[in-house]
Structure 1
Amino acid sequence: MSHAPDLGSSAAPGAGAGQREGLGELFSSVTEDLSTLVRQEIALAKAEATQSGKRAGKGAGLLAGAGVSGHFVLLFLSVAAWWGLGEVIGRGWSALVVAAVWAVVAAVLAVRGRSELRAVRGLPDTTSTLQKVPSALKGHEEENHR
């Protein structure tokens, strides 16, 4: 029996430790990259949500204006009917003209408000980039570019 050292068994632990360090560094790098990606996606989502929120707010404000204008239509139609009975033509017709003007204002605000709400895009850039994450993690980033 020889007491010579077994070179094969002593080389394996050294190689395994180096391999573990390499895997550890790789895992650390992947974790860091994934963390950066998540932070960037959150920042993009915040920016898009802010933009969409502003558009939705503008559309809602225009629709609220249409609601107030609609209230004035009812008010002036009521005043027109009242004044129309009191006078032959003078005051009644003038109240109807004012009511018609408010009806036009309400219609214009409603149409504009509706178009503003339809123009809200949501979060298209965030959605697009999030769909690319699984392929990018596999090393195939360009697969989802069409």
Structure 2
Amino acid sequence: MSTAERQTHATDDSVSVLVPRASQQISELVREEIQLARAEMTQKGQHFGKGGGLFGAAGLLGILAAQALIATCIAALALVLPVWASALIVTAVLTAVAAAAALAGKKQIAAVGSPAPEQTIDSVKADLAAIKERTH
């Protein structure tokens, strides 16, 4: 066997050994990256859960504070009016504010129109039409 034949044979052996080794290393690397991503997402999920719970607690405390403020307004008006009249006035003001918010919300929803992603649907239809044209 000549030197060139031996070098070619040695190179073939190297490639035949290196390709499976590279494939195995890539598989291990992908598995390790997936494990790292899973661990990272678990940690982030825990932080999101804690943050969500704290936001929920803040919301509840905000509602309680608003109720206390409403009671304070009724008590303050009760200094000059009967308690029932004070409560009626505060209730009327709150109802008017709620109605205004509901109307503003209704306008926002009406402005959106259909909840379907119309631009995406149109884009997908155009893509399908282009694919059909290419296949025919």
CA distance in 1, matches of 2:73, 2:22: 75
1:28 positional shift = 1.0
Corresponding position: 1:75 with 2:70: yes
CA distance in 2, matches of 1:55, 1:7: 71
Corresponding position: 1:40 with 2:29: no
1:78 positional shift = 0.7
Which residue is equivalent to 1:60? 55
Which residue is equivalent to 1:8? 3
Q: How many residues align?
A: 83
Q: Deviations over 1:94-133 (max 9, x none)?
A: xxxxxxxxxxxxxxxxxxxxxxxxxxxxxxxxxxxxxxxx
Give the 3-state SS of the residue equivalent to 2:80 in structure 1. helix
1:68 positional shift = 0.4
CA distance in 1, matches of 2:77, 2:7: 102
Percent identical pairs in the alignment equals 14
- One-letter amino acid of the structure 2 residue matched with residue 25 of structure 1: P
Corresponding position: 1:18 with 2:13: yes
- One-letter amino acid of the structure 2 residue matched with residue 76 of structure 1: A
Q: Deviations over 1:7-55 (max 9, x none)?
A: 2122111101011112212211221111011110121122112211210
User: Structure 1: any 5+ residue segments left out of the alignment?
Assistant: 1-5, 92-146
Higher relative contact order (CA 8 A, sep 6+): 1
CA distance in 1, matches of 2:50, 2:30: 31
Give the 3-state SS of the residue equivalent to 1:84 in structure 2. coil
Which residue is equivalent to 1:109? none
CA distance in 1, matches of 2:35, 2:67: 48
**Over the residues paired in the alignment, what is the CA RMSD in angstroms?**
1.8
User: Structure 2: any 5+ residue segments left out of the alignment?
Assistant: 84-136
1:86 positional shift = 4.0
Which residue is equivalent to 1:85? 80
CA distance in 2, matches of 1:54, 1:12: 61
CA distance in 2, matches of 1:73, 1:50: 34
